[in-house]
Amino acid sequence: MNTRIPQLLGIEYPIIQGGMAWVAEHHLAAAVSEAGGLGLIGGANAPGEVVREEIRKAKKLTNKPIGVNVMLLSPHADDVAKVIVEEGIKVVTTGAGNPEKYMEMWKAAGIKVIPVVASVALAKRMERYGADAVVAEGCESGGHIGEQTTMTLVPQVADAVSIPVIAAGGIGDGRGIAAAFMLGAEAVQIGTRFVVSKESIVHDNYKQRIIKAKDIDSAVTGRTHGHPVRSLRNQMTREYVRLEEEGKSFEELEYLTLGTLRKAVLEGDVINGTVMAGQIAGMISKEQTCKEMIEEMMEQAGKLLGR
Ligand SMILES: Cc1cc2nc3c(=O)[nH]c(=O)nc-3n(C[C@H](O)[C@H](O)[C@H](O)COP(=O)(O)O)c2cc1C
């Protein structure tokens, strides 16, 4: 399992933690990196100075590499892009757009750039712009999603680009990692399982909701306006779908979800909050440390792959 990714990123195992908004703060990022994967701080919509603080706090907890996920639609993306360089971060993943305008600055600082993509076309474009790898994310994932499944997207992206491909979406154990490798991935990105790690600061109600979830418990909202999001079914998703069916505008629906991820993550409101999680939630049955999760997954994947 010694692919190009661990070498490229200076990590031990080919496991990357998703840069999850509100969830991926310094405790989680440091714990994943300490355990041999790559931990990420989720920039989300946070101002540059907040991200800087998070990076500094994570660096106090680990000397191993950590990365930052930059949400390109954030009003603070320009600031966050600069903070990353100033703080000596060496790996960036990007979501919701094209990171081309930051490429020169990041490359000059020796930063590895890994855009998250949901289609072959975007993967090819990112390779042309100088990306070092891509995360091919299937719609099984928690959070904002595309339309392709991981099973169909990963091999098609792997065939289309020569940079390494990291599979994301629906991977929660060693079988998922082994399957992703068989599809042509050289690493995996995991979100939902790490949400329930002991080091994750997510409210216990949120963790318990994932632990108790069944396979069919997630719902996708926002398809009508082309901004689909996967989260666990609750009062919020039912209300959202009802308003979508009524033909409410994107702005009205956005207003409904304003601050609701934060409400679920920090306050534990799993009824009216947005409990972002992927379809693999149904398989996740306990809280463990990131180290326990990573070692268990690597051992299982290693056996399956005969390595
Ligand atoms: C609570 C939550 C928040 C997320 N927020 C972001 C985000 O801000 N930026 C991003 O690129 N991906 C985000 N994601 C997606 C993850 O980074 C990751 O790609 C995905 O969770 C992988 O699929 P899985 O949930 O099946 O493991 C989020 C996922 C979850 C569960």
* Residue of 117, 141, 203, 275 to mutate, ligand 1, most atoms within 8 A of C-beta: 141
Q: Is the CB of residue 19 below 6 angstroms from any atom belonging to ligand 1?
A: yes
To the question of domain 10-200 being in CATH 3.20.20.70, the answer is yes
What pLDDT is recorded for position 79? 97
Residue 184, class by beta-carbon neighbours within 10 Å (0-12 exposed, 13-18 middle, 19+ buried)? middle
User: Which residue's C-alpha comes closest to atom 13 of ligand 1?
Assistant: 20
Separation between Cα atoms, residue 269 and residue 209, nearest integer Å = 11
What pLDDT is recorded for position 184? 98
Q: In 10 A of CB 198, how many CB atoms?
A: 15
The pTM of the full predicted model, rounded to 2 decimals, is 0.97
Give distance in angstroms: CA of 141 to centre of ligand 1.
Answer: 7
**Ligand 1 atom nearest to 116, measured from its CA:** 11
End-to-end CA distance of the chain: 7
- CB of 125 closer than 8 Å to CB of 102: no
What distances in angstroms separate CA 224 from CA 16, 178, 220, 237, 246, one per listed residue? 31, 35, 10, 14, 11
**Ligand 1 atom nearest to 95, measured from its CA:** 11
Give distance in angstroms: CA of 35 to centre of ligand 1.
Answer: 20
User: Which residue's C-alpha comes closest to atom 7 of ligand 1?
Assistant: 20
Using DSSP bridges, classify how beta strands 134-137 and 165-168 pair: parallel, antiparallel or unpaired.
parallel
3-class state of residue 88 by DSSP? coil
Give distance in angstroms: CA of 38 to centre of ligand 1.
Answer: 14
For CATH 3.20.20.70, list the domain ranges present in the chain.
10-200
Q: Is the CB of residue 44 below 6 angstroms from any atom belonging to ligand 1?
A: yes
Q: In 10 A of CB 249, how many CB atoms?
A: 10
- For the chain, the C-alpha Rg in angstroms (whole number) is 18
Q: Is the CB of residue 137 below 6 angstroms from any atom belonging to ligand 1?
A: yes
Percent of the chain that is helix, strand, coil (3-state, to 5): 45, 15, 40
Separation between Cα atoms, residue 134 and residue 47, nearest integer Å = 25
Type of residue numbered 220: V
Give distance in angstroms: CA of 148 to centre of ligand 1.
Answer: 16
**Ligand 1 atom nearest to 42, measured from its CA:** 8
What pLDDT is recorded for position 67? 98
Give distance in angstroms: CA of 211 to centre of ligand 1.
Answer: 17
Question: Which residue in this structure is represented by tokens 């409904």?
Answer: 256
**Ligand 1 atom nearest to 17, measured from its CA:** 17
Give distance in angstroms: CA of 158 to centre of ligand 1.
Answer: 21
CB within 8 A of 286, min separation 6: which ones? Answer: 196, 211
297, two tokens:
């997954």
Give distance in angstroms: CA of 245 to centre of ligand 1.
Answer: 26
How big is the chain, counted in residues? 307
Q: Is the CB of residue 170 below 6 angstroms from any atom belonging to ligand 1?
A: yes
| Phi (first) and psi of residue 121, to 5 degrees | -60, -45
Give distance in angstroms: CA of 278 to centre of ligand 1.
Answer: 8
Q: Is the CB of residue 192 below 6 angstroms from any atom belonging to ligand 1?
A: yes
Separation between Cα atoms, residue 91 and residue 88, nearest integer Å = 9
Residues of the chain where predicted confidence (pLDDT) is lower than 70: none
87, two tokens:
């703080």
What pLDDT is recorded for position 225? 87
